[in-house]
């Protein structure tokens, strides 16, 4: 490879390394979800499942498609997550009136889990704030809110 191309390689690598938003959001994702998943593990649920549980609790009865749009998650991702949560006995999946939409509701076991989870979630949230700093946590929260608004959620 010519010196010219060699320089191009180094420049590309440095530019991407110094700026890439994808690398940074993945780092944050690994760091933060690691904190939450570790905290939630004794309860048997993951932070992704908690997020879905909360949406269903706040809006149920609600269809998987609506949850998918609300969270900007692919419908197949929701489908499989719902299946796990159903298997764990936290949700009830009922046929909707239309015959193709389903109706999800959090059942008694799921509600009890949610209440039991709150203090654990709170602890994880505190740890995450410690890692991000208060202003970092604020930034992340408002960034998330902004993207949500922009997605034209339901």
Contact at 8 Å (CB) between 64 and 55? no
Contact at 8 Å (CB) between 62 and 55? yes
| Interface residue with DNA, options 55, 70, 81, 114 (CB under 7 A) | 81
Tokens 């149920």 correspond to what residue? 60
**Of the ranges 12-20, 61-69, 82-90, 96-104, which one interacts with a copy of itself (CB under 8 A)?**
12-20
Q: Does 117 bind DNA (CB under 7 A)?
A: no
Structure tokens at 125: 């949230």
**Phi, psi angles (nearest 5°) of residue 95:** -70, 135
Instruction: Find the binding residues for a copy of itself in span 46-105 (CB under 8 A).
Output: 47-48, 50-51, 53-55, 57-58, 71-73
Structure tokens at 64: 């998987």
Residue 38 contact among DNA, a copy of itself, none, beta carbon within 5 to 8 Å by kind: DNA
Give the single-character DSSP code of 101: S
**Which residues are at the interface with DNA (CB under 7 A)?**
26, 29-30, 34, 37-38, 46-49, 63-65, 68, 72-77, 79-84, 96, 98-102
């Amino acid at each position: 490879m010519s010196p010219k191309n060699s320089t191009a390689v180094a420049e590309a690598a440095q530019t991407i390394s110094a700026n890439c938003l994808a690398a940074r959001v993945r780092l944050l994702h690994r760091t933060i979800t690691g904190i939450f998943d570790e905290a939630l593990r004794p309860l048997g649920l993951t932070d992704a499942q908690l997020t879905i549980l909360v949406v269903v609790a706040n809006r149920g009865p609600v269809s998987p498609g609506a949850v998918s749009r609300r969270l900007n998650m692919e419908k197949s991702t929701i489908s499989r997550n719902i299946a796990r949560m159903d298997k764990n006995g936290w949700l009830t999946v009922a046929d909707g009136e239309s015959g193709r939409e389903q109706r999800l509701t959090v059942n008694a076991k799921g509600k009890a889990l949610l209440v039991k989870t709150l203090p654990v979630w709170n602890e994880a949230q505190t740890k995450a704030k410690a890692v991000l700093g208060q202003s970092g946590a604020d930034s992340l929260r408002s960034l998330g809110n902004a993207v949500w608004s922009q997605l034209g959620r339901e």
